[in-house]
Amino acid sequence: MEIITSNQNSRVKIWTSLQTAKGREQSGSYLLDGWHLVQEALNQAAPIQAIIATEAQMSAHLIDVPQGVPAFQVTEEVARHIAKTNNPQGIFAQTSLPNNSFDPKYIHSGSWLLLDEIQDPGNAGTLIRTADAAGFEGVALSAGSADPFNPKVVRAMQGSQFHLKVVKDVDLAAWIDALEENDYDVFGTTLSATSVDYKTIVPEKNFALILGNEGQGMKAELQAKTTANLHINFPGKAESLNVAVAGGILMFALN
pLDDT at 99: 85
pLDDT at 85: 83
pLDDT at 170: 96
What does the domain layout of the chain look like in residue ranges? Answer: 2-96, 104-254
User: Looking at residues 199-222, what average pLDDT do you find?
Assistant: 92
Q: pLDDT higher for 194 or 24?
A: 24
Q: Is the predicted pLDDT of residue 194 greater than 90, yes or no?
A: no
Helix (H, G, I), strand (E, B) or coil at 116: strand
For 179-190, b where at least 16 C-beta lie within 10 A, e where not — what string? Answer: beeeebbbbbbb
Residue pair 80/89 in contact by the 8 Å Cβ criterion: no
> How many Cβ atoms from other residues are within 10 Å of residue 57's Cβ?
22
Beta-strand runs (E) in the chain = 2-4, 29-33, 48-53, 71-74, 91-96, 112-116, 138-142, 165-170, 185-189, 196-197, 207-212, 228-231
Q: For residue 237, what pLDDT band results from cuts at 50, 70 and 90?
A: confident
Q: Which residues contact 38 (CB under 8 A, 6 or more apart)?
A: 32, 51, 61, 91, 92, 93
Q: Is the predicted pLDDT of residue 255 greater than 90, yes or no?
A: no
User: Looking at residues 233-245, what average pLDDT do you find?
Assistant: 89
pLDDT at 61: 94
Overall CATH class of domain 2-96? alpha beta
**pLDDT per position as a tens digit, 133-165:** 999 999 999 999 999 999 999 999 999 999 999
Arithmetic mean of pLDDT over the chain: 94
Q: For residue 101, what pLDDT band results from cuts at 50, 70 and 90?
A: confident
Distance from C-alpha of 12 to C-alpha of 209, rounded to nearest angstrom: 40
Asked which of 27-36, 89-98, 208-217, 235-244 is least confident by mean pLDDT, the reply is: 235-244
Q: Is the predicted pLDDT of residue 116 greater than 90, yes or no?
A: yes
In CATH terms, the fold of domain 104-254 is: Alpha/beta knot (3.40.1280)
- Which of 51, 57, 54, 69 is CA-nearest to residue 5? 54
**pLDDT per position as a tens digit, 178-193:** 999 999 999 999 988 8
pLDDT at 125: 97
User: Looking at residues 25-39, what average pLDDT do you find?
Assistant: 96
pLDDT at 203: 87
Q: For residue 90, what pLDDT band results from cuts at 50, 70 and 90?
A: very high
The secondary structure element, H or E, covering residue 104 is: none
What is the reported pTM?
A: 0.93
For the chain, give the percent of residues with pLDDT over 90: 87
Q: Is the predicted pLDDT of residue 102 greater than 90, yes or no?
A: no
pLDDT at 50: 96
pLDDT at 191: 83
